[in-house]
Amino acid sequence: MVMLPPAKPRSARPRPRRPSISDPTRERLIDCAGPIFADRGFQATTIREISTVAGENVAAIHYHFGDKLGLYSEVVLRSTRAAQVDAIRSALAQQAPPDQILRAVIRARLQSLNRRDLPDWHFRILLHEFASPTPALGQVVEHVGRPIFLRVLDLIGGMLGLPPTDERTRLCAISVMGQIIAYVFATPLLAGVWPELKMTPEQVERIATHIGDFSLAYIQTFRAQHQALEPQPVSPAARNGLRQFEKKSTSTASLRTTP
């Protein structure tokens, strides 16, 4: 039995020495907890269910993570590190015309929402965090929301010929991201209003193409109008932001974001 130090009478967490390296039960708990938390949210999830699914004892959670929130924070931390940000980042980093980069970002974000294999449930944790914030919300915003949004801001600012901090740039970025999150957040509504909608890969591709078309219509028109009025020096990031409409729904530029 471990004697707990007399100081800190309320934070009695044994915390094994190296919480980093792979402990099989620790990993199993995190892996099983992720989808359950994503389904039910932090509060409605019982650690007994997690421990049952993981085949571990309830006390193991407290032994390894201190308490329920400790496990949840670890899950959120893993979630933020997962493929999402990387996919977006690689989409944003590629050498391509900005409108194609925007389409790739939209497609990557949309695809990550509906794959049933791995990172599917990450976004649902975000949804729960937005509805009922926990102490982990700051982490999520800081590690997922902010970096993606800032990069999209750069990209769109370049396409508009405006600084990323311009209100019009921000509004456009929100418009683009808003169209995407509608398909996660409003899932129950969509089910009631468009029941035939099945998120097959082809359907996701069509949606991504639509959001790209829808967004570029405004962005390109804006750029054209404002460059005609006030010809300011073209920022290098926006050099390709001016192409006229390509033929619609035949794009499929085939730049996948996953290797």
Which is closer to a copy of itself, CB of 4 or CB of 171?
171
End-to-end CA distance of the chain: 50
- Check binding of 228 to a copy of itself (CB under 8 A): no
* Residue closest to 137 by CA, chosen among 197, 72, 185: 72
User: Which residues have CB under 8 Å from 165's CB, separation 6+?
Assistant: 153
Quick one: what does residue 19 bind among DNA, a copy of itself, none, with the CB cut-off 5 to 8 Å set by partner type? none
Six-digit token string for 35: 């989808």
235 near DNA, judged by CB under 7 A:
no
Residues in contact with DNA, shown as a per-residue x/- string from 22 to 61 under the rule CB under 7 A = -xxx-------------------xxxx-------xxxxxx
Is there binding between residue 135 and DNA (CB under 7 A)?
no
Please pick, from the candidates 52, 163, 217, 232, the single residue that binds a copy of itself as defined by CB under 8 A.
217
Question: Residue 110 and residue 183: Cα distance in Å, rounded?
Answer: 8
Q: Could you give the CA distance from residue 130 to residue 128 in angstroms, rounded to a whole number?
A: 5
Q: Which residues, in sequence order, are CB contacts of 152 under 8 Å at separation 6+?
A: 92, 105, 173, 176, 177
Residue 178 site contact among a copy of itself, DNA, none (CB < 5 to 8 Å, cut-off depends on kind): a copy of itself
Query: Which one of residues 52, 214, 239, 243 is an interface residue with a copy of itself (CB under 8 A)?
Result: 214
Note the Cα 228 to chain centre separation in Å.
36
In whole angstroms, the minimum distance from the beta carbon of 15 to DNA comes to: 9
Rounded to whole angstroms, how far apart are CA atoms 255 and 258?
9
Contact footprint for a copy of itself (CB under 8 A) = 40-41, 43-44, 127-133, 137-138, 141-142, 145-146, 149-150, 167-168, 170-172, 174-175, 177-183, 185-194, 206-207, 210-211, 213-215, 217-218, 221-222, 225, 245
